[in-house]
A and B are shown apart, each in its own frame.
Chain A
Amino acid sequence: MRFGVVIFPGSNGDHDALKSVELGLQEEVVPIWHKDTSIDNCDALLIPGGFTYGDYLRAGAIARFSPIMEAVTEFAERGGPILGICNGFQILTEAGLLPGALAKNSELTFRCDWIHVRVESDRTPFTATLDPGTVLRLPIAHGQGRYVVSESQLAELEANDQIVFRYTDSQGIEHDDYNPNGSTAHIAGVCNERGNVVGLMPHPERAYDALIGGDEGLKILRSVVDAGLSTVRA
């Protein structure tokens, strides 16, 4: 299986995304430059974190206009698995590929920590091999990670089974104290209606080796390999 990692000016999680696939999964992975206009021979896409265009206007707001985004959208429409991580999640919401928006953390400061998320849905390629209720320990590192949706949108997300990850304690129990950024309904990650595009604020690509603090992020990345869901190679 071959992954593609889309790199924008200001992406900084591309290195970890590439290494997590190469060293952690030991699968093939290629970088894709934002000025490219097509995505060739990739089975799944990772949109990594960072500060694309400095996040100067609003996180992800400018990257969505990069030439590659048309191809990314087309890939999504074909049902290709896409995982947006941190700034990648923000870009996908700005591009309209995922619902909701990411606002400044409720504490108003950047926060780097290891947290826990609970898998809420196994209908996405990135959670297909994980039982709902599974708790994963992952790092976070963001200043704008507060997931925001309106009440009616939230109801829609619930009804459509689009909430993929929620912040919890290590036992998988939700409390406000364990919601690191004040996200609506403790939401850490969501998917589109079809389920093939997933975005989350925590960093599975930085948790691929016990030596660097944890390897539970690999479960998310491996899921798309094991599920064998992708049939979209162009």
Chain B
Amino acid sequence: MTLTITPEALREVALTQSEYDQIVELLGRAPTAVELGMFGAMWSEHCGYKNSRPLLKHFPTSGSRVLQGPGENAGAVDIGDGLAVVFKIESHNHPSAVEPYEGAATGVGGIVRDIFTMGARPVALLNSLRFGPLDRQRNQYLFGGVVGGIGGYGNCLGIPTVGGDIYFDEKYNGNPLVNAMCVGIVEHDKIMRAKASGIGNLVVLVGADTGRDGIHGATFASVENPEESHRGVVQVGNPFLEKLLLEACLEALEIEGVVAMQDLGAAGLTSSIVECASKGEVGIEIDVQRVSRRESGMSAYEVMLSESQERMLIIVTEEALPELRAIFERWDLHSDVIGTVTDDGNVRILDGGEIVANVPASLYTDECPVYIREGIESAAIVEARERDLSDVTDLASDAIGDTLLRLLASHNICSREPVVRTYDHTIMSNTVTPPLDADAAVVRVKGTNKAIAIKTDCNPRYVYLDPHLGGQHAVAEAARNVSCTGAEPLALTNCLNFGSPEKPDGYFQLQQAVLGMAEAAEALGTPVISGNVSLYNESGDEAILPTPTVGVVGLIEDVNQRAGMAPTNGSVLILLGTQEATLGASEYLSVVHGLVAGSPPALDLTVEHNVQSLVRSLIGVGLVTAAHDTSEGGLLVALAEMLIASESGATVELQQVLDANAGRLDRTCFGEAASRVIVATSAGNADAVIQRAQQSGVPAVRLGTVGGDALELDVAESVAVTTMKRKWESGLKVGR
């Protein structure tokens, strides 16, 4: 059966005429309908990375601890004791724009499957979320739905949600971002890969039945206007079934004869079969008639492209099949033998006796077209970045208190407690530092004295105003947050959320951000071990703020040598790192002056590296007991956050910092800078901390002492901690 190709038919699979011509040339014939659907899915940006692949090559991906880099379901990093931490972040943006609860829920489900497919026990979840401002009802609905979906799925699975980040900006109005990260633990020798092998081995599909949900999901994740294109494409999650699948799969991986495992995510059966065959350099033949269905009358095309959730593909020897089936029966899950591994390299799909697709696996993967485009920066953004900010009126001394309270209540800074309280963070009894108590979540590793620290981050305004520098910041800030707990950052995962790469200014952002991230990852010794790309985040003609979300995992060798954010009464606060801040790209400039302008803070990666390693060593030797980086809102907001956490005041002198900022109060108090951390130490150790900083070549200035019930400043009137706390806690409400 061949197909007369029409523009409509191509639109259906999101392929261009020239891509179609390429397929015909590769095959030497017209593709069948099923083949065309499979090509559409595999050659989508979501699966094929056709716009991003050449750029991703810039990322450093190796290191002494890297056990598995990009290319598998998730990356893996050695943490000693024969254990590895497996992690990845992935987007579920387009579905969440249409059906926020199920979109976010299935996003969590997908990333969790990626982790246990590797043989790892998932131990922590994080989420990086972006929405339009909450004064719009639609955004409230999306926000409430996404938060509900994350909790609904993660809580049921019994995996703690321990952290993440949330950010609001008008540019996310039509395209919210939902990036879910999962971290798992596995013994080195139990890491499983999605590489089919053993001619004659069986291909088994386990878990949920296959339905018509999510057909073309991968394809439509790669086009604009999600609200229009995604109707009827969103999958519905069943966390209960995923929990059974998780337990059954981890049990099944103990069987000798299980040679590969691959979850069914984007592009369903198509992608998982092609990936397994292609990675193993073998062929796979399956019969769609043997796939259990949840509805009747499904065509081979629909079965191959369904994105029904909670399914897994397992390659197993014939001898081990009975043992495998027994495990799934015990968990009341069915296991269908749907095909075999073959030696001809072809992915052959049968529908009963009839061959409906027969294409070498490599054509779907290796031959996926790659586009290297020309990036040109938008003139409007150049103008915004180059805007002279010296005409911005400085703050009066008596306005500082009110400005601080205003920033504390603003949506990008205020407390995330209303969100995190709906996520179970105590289950699995590993959570050492709850979500709001430190710059990164700290989760212990049972059976060792170790803990891992995890954080997601990205300041998209920085990336918007300067994608190269902003990309560096995203990596540096996530790593800095991890360092502030005392953990050594080991590696990172990222989710590249951008607009259309087909527009020169969109491609420019993607390209420059990736280059910046790659440089920072190299400089900070955190290789990229996994990730995902989500392009075409546009509605109407408006793209999102470029958002390369970074997730960093770090290691604390001795869990007792760690720091939170709250300083104890009587401790001395010291600012480590640069004192000069800028209003450029700052939260202050946006909230108070309504300006998105200026250049983001300068970032010297060597200084950044030194500041982070200093902070870690100070925590490691017990000199520093609390640490907090200064990010959105600058120095005063960071100080306020620490004091709110400890429910005590402090007496603080900012004169020296004021001098470093040309006497400008706004820059001193609310300007932003990279490579800056406020640490707390005991009065007796303050000199030692400053001395060690000097030895490391890191500037250090004593800010003041914790005590009393207000933030007492030399440059402004005092603010009561209870007032700050009330404002900070009042900012966010989660609708439902």
Given A19-B429, A51-B239, 14 extra CB contacts under 8 A: A9-B331, A10-B240, A19-B446, A51-B240, A51-B243, A53-B240, A55-B240, A112-B425, A139-B426, A203-B426, A205-B429, A206-B427, A212-B429, A213-B434
- Pick the contact of A211 from B420, B421, B425, B444 — CB < 8 Å? B444
Q: 1/0 per position for B418-439, CB-CB distance to A under 8 A?
A: 0011111111111110100000
User: Does B646 sit at the interface, judged by CB under 8 A?
Assistant: no
Q: 1/0 per position for A191-213, CB-CB distance to B under 8 A?
A: 00000000000010110110111
| B190 CB → nearest A CB, Å | 18
User: Does B238 sit at the interface, judged by CB under 8 A?
Assistant: yes
User: Does A73 sit at the interface, judged by CB under 8 A?
Assistant: no
- Pick the contact of B332 from A9, A51, A143 — CB < 8 Å? A9
Q: Closest B residue to A56 by CB, please name it.
A: B240
User: Does A183 sit at the interface, judged by CB under 8 A?
Assistant: no
User: Does B157 sit at the interface, judged by CB under 8 A?
Assistant: yes
| B207 CB → nearest A CB, Å | 13
User: Does B11 sit at the interface, judged by CB under 8 A?
Assistant: no
| B339 CB → nearest A CB, Å | 28
Contacts of B152 in A (CB 8 A): 110
Contact indicator B424/A212 (Cβ below 8 Å): no
Contacts of A108 in B (CB 8 A): 736
Contacts of B515 in A (CB 8 A): none
User: With the chains together, A53 CA to B241 CA distance in Å?
Assistant: 9
Beyond A54-B238, A139-B426, whether A212 also contacts B444 by CB under 8 A is: yes
Contact indicator B432/A212 (Cβ below 8 Å): yes
Beyond A12-B157, A211-B444, A212-B431, whether A141 also contacts B426 by CB under 8 A is: yes
Can you list 11 pairs linking A and B with CB atoms under 8 Å apart? A9-B244, A10-B240, A10-B243, A23-B446, A51-B156, A110-B152, A112-B421, A112-B425, A208-B429, A212-B429, A212-B431
User: Does B103 sit at the interface, judged by CB under 8 A?
Assistant: no
**9-45 of chain B: CB within 8 A of chain A:** none
User: Does B151 sit at the interface, judged by CB under 8 A?
Assistant: yes
Q: 1/0 per position for A110-148, CB-CB distance to B under 8 A?
A: 111110000000000000000000000001010100000
Contact indicator B158/A112 (Cβ below 8 Å): no
Q: 1/0 per position for B220-259, CB-CB distance to A under 8 A?
A: 0000000000000000001111011000000000000000
Number of A residues near B (Cβ < 8 Å) is 34
User: With the chains together, A108 CA to B431 CA distance in Å?
Assistant: 25
User: With the chains together, A209 CA to B559 CA distance in Å?
Assistant: 13
User: Does B155 sit at the interface, judged by CB under 8 A?
Assistant: yes
Contacts of B151 in A (CB 8 A): 109-110
| B39 CB → nearest A CB, Å | 37
**40-86 of chain A: CB within 8 A of chain B:** 50-51, 53-56
Which label, helix, strand, loop or mixed, suits the secondary structure of the B interface? loop
Contacts of A212 in B (CB 8 A): 426, 429-432, 444
Size category of the B interface is 35 or more
Contacts of A88 in B (CB 8 A): none
Contacts of B155 in A (CB 8 A): 51, 110, 112, 141, 143
Contact indicator B423/A112 (Cβ below 8 Å): yes
Contacts of A189 in B (CB 8 A): none
User: Does A168 sit at the interface, judged by CB under 8 A?
Assistant: no
User: With the chains together, A208 CA to B430 CA distance in Å?
Assistant: 11
**700-736 of chain B: CB within 8 A of chain A:** 734, 736
Q: Closest B residue to A15 by CB, please name it.
A: B428
User: Does A13 sit at the interface, judged by CB under 8 A?
Assistant: yes
Contacts of B420 in A (CB 8 A): 112
Q: Closest B residue to A35 by CB, please name it.
A: B330
User: With the chains together, A213 CA to B559 CA distance in Å?
Assistant: 13
Contact indicator B427/A13 (Cβ below 8 Å): yes
Contact indicator B736/A109 (Cβ below 8 Å): yes
User: With the chains together, A225 CA to B423 CA distance in Å?
Assistant: 33
Q: Closest A residue to B157 by CB, please name it.
A: A12
Contacts of A55 in B (CB 8 A): 156, 240
| B433 CB → nearest A CB, Å | 9
Q: Closest A residue to B333 by CB, please name it.
A: A9
User: Does A179 sit at the interface, judged by CB under 8 A?
Assistant: no
Contacts of B241 in A (CB 8 A): 54
User: With the chains together, A141 CA to B154 CA distance in Å?
Assistant: 12
Contact indicator B157/A209 (Cβ below 8 Å): no
Contacts of B332 in A (CB 8 A): 9
**298-357 of chain B: CB within 8 A of chain A:** 330-332
- Pick the contact of B424 from A20, A35, A112 — CB < 8 Å? A112
Contact indicator A113/B421 (Cβ below 8 Å): yes
Beyond A111-B422, A206-B429, A211-B559, whether A54 also contacts B736 by CB under 8 A is: no
Beyond A54-B240, A206-B426, A212-B432, whether A12 also contacts B156 by CB under 8 A is: yes
